[in-house]
Amino acid sequence: MNLDRFARISALTLAVASSFASHSVFAAKPTLAPTEKWALVDVSQFFLHNPPFSFTGLYRSQGMATDGEQWFFSWQYGLERADDAFNSIQRNSSVDIVNGAPSLNPGIPADLLSQGFDHIGDIDYKDGIIYASLDTTNGYTNGHVALYSASDLSYTGKVYELVGAPANPHHDVASWVAVDREEDVGYGKEWQNGNTLNVYRLEDWRFDHTLTLDASLKNIQGAKVWGKWIYMSSDNDTRSIYRANLRTGHVEELFQLPQPVGSLEVEGIALRQSEDGTLDMYVEMIVDPNNSDQSFTDTALNVSLYHYRRVTGKRHESHKSH
């Protein structure tokens, strides 16, 4: 939810943009060690200007999901489909250069933009639908989830309000949404420090209850459900990847992401299982090597996609790709 300053282009050139919130980056750490291991496989980099004015990194700067065959990415104003090798297939939004200045073509419908909804966070996928977390950058107090068709990235016309726990019903509850395919529920969490997850009924995203965790977490930028666990990426000071057991609430810190030179911002997360049972994890990180405040014109600014693989000597639970 700590909005990509990539999107400040709109604050300079477009009326639909608004100022960006900043958040502190300190998180409580779980006390117990992880019960599974992950190894870094490779890192892909998506730049804004390679080739010049391609803005590939911009379109992959908020979140990601998969149906097992293709990838879906989100940025502040829209969505993208890409093939297995991350080659773009389709976008429902764009930034074009017109008379030397950037011009926004948003994928958020005009009626939602007019209500102040100008920020898509991390996303998830189920049965042909992309679930996109949606909020307003004016305070981040109006969380919603919007449904898009995965086949053509069109808005389905369905949008649901997200209401958090009674103690925090509205503030910063839409940094991301995650879908549990098997249980037909959705999950979310407030940005600030807390030891609960919000649980929603998937059919209409009505708040159902909270799941209490055994450790407090904050700055969670993305999450995906796999089996009985929810995996979460955090933009805290250690750039930690966590998982929490959806039955017991037990939290584990799996590992900490590398921290390359420059200013960093962790974003979305995705999990995918291959036919042989191998489980892969992908985590997005905005890397600003020049500390340019994520300047739109900085050619070094990129989204680095960290690819991890679960290390296992025994058979783990199987689950369809998210």
The model's pLDDT over 179-209, given as tens digits with 9 standing for 90+, comes to 999 999 999 999 999 999 999 999 999 999 9
Q: Is residue 294 a part of any domain in this protein?
A: yes
Beta carbons of 215 and 31 less than 8 angstroms apart? yes
pTM above 0.75, yes or no: yes
CA distance 284 to 235: 11
Structural domain count, the chain: 1
Predicted local distance difference test score (pLDDT) of residue 296: 86
167 falls in which pLDDT band (50, 70, 90)? confident
- Residue 33's pLDDT band, with cuts at 50, 70 and 90, is confident
169 burial level (CB within 10 Å; 0-12, 13-18, 19+): middle
SS (H, E, C) the chain: CCCCHHHHHHHHHCCCCCCCCCCCCCCCCCCCCCCCEEEEEEEEEEECCCCCCCCCCHHHCCEEEECCCCEEEEECCEEEEECCCCCEEEECCEEEEECCEEEEECCCCHHHHCCCCCEEEEEEEECCEEEEEEECCCCCCCCEEEEEECCCCCEEEEEEECCCCCCCCCCCCCCECEEECCCCEEEECCCCCEEEEEEEECCCCEEEEEEEEEEEECCEEEEEEECCEEEEEECCCCCEEEEEECCCCCEEEEEECCCCCCEEEEEEEEEEECCCCCEEEEEEEEEECCCCCCCCCCCCCEEEEEEEEEECCCCCCCCCCC
CATH of the domain at 191: 2.115.10
Q: Please check the confidence at residue 22 and state whether its pLDDT lies above 60.
A: no
322 within some domain: no
151: domain range?
A: 5-311
In a domain, 319, yes or no: no
Q: Compute the average pLDDT of residues 227-241.
A: 98
Inter-residue contact 198 to 180 (CB < 8 Å): no
Q: How many CB atoms lie within 10 A of CB 142?
A: 18
What's the CA gap between 164 and 144, in Å, rounded? 11
In a domain, 320, yes or no: no
Look at residue 10 in the predicted model and tell me its pLDDT. 41
Residue bearing the bigger pLDDT, 6 or 16: 6
**124 in any annotated domain:** yes
**What is d(CA 75, CA 284) in angstroms, rounded to the nearest whole number?**
12
* 316 within a domain of the structure (yes/no): no
Contact indicator for 312, 318 with CB cutoff of 8 Å? no
Contacts 24+ apart (CB under 8 A), 147-156: 148/79, 148/92, 150/67, 150/72, 150/81, 150/125, 152/90, 152/92, 153/78, 153/79, 153/80, 153/81, 153/90, 153/91, 153/92, 153/107, 154/92, 155/107, 155/109, 156/129
Q: Would 100 be classed as within a structural domain?
A: yes
* pLDDT tens digits, one per residue of 41-52: 999 999 999 999
**In sequence order, what are the beta bridge partners of 179?**
186
Q: Does the pLDDT of residue 5 top 70, yes or no?
A: no
Confidence of residue 32 (pLDDT cuts 50, 70, 90): low
Backbone angles phi, psi at 135, to 5 degrees: -155, 175
In a domain, 239, yes or no: yes
Give the pLDDT band (50/70/90) at residue 31: low
What phi, psi does 146 have (nearest 5°)?
Answer: -110, 140
Q: Does residue 30 have a pLDDT over 90?
A: no
Maximum pairwise Cα distance, the chain: 59
Residues 210-223 pLDDT 10s: 999 999 999 999 99
Q: What are residue 148's DSSP bridge partners?
A: 130, 155
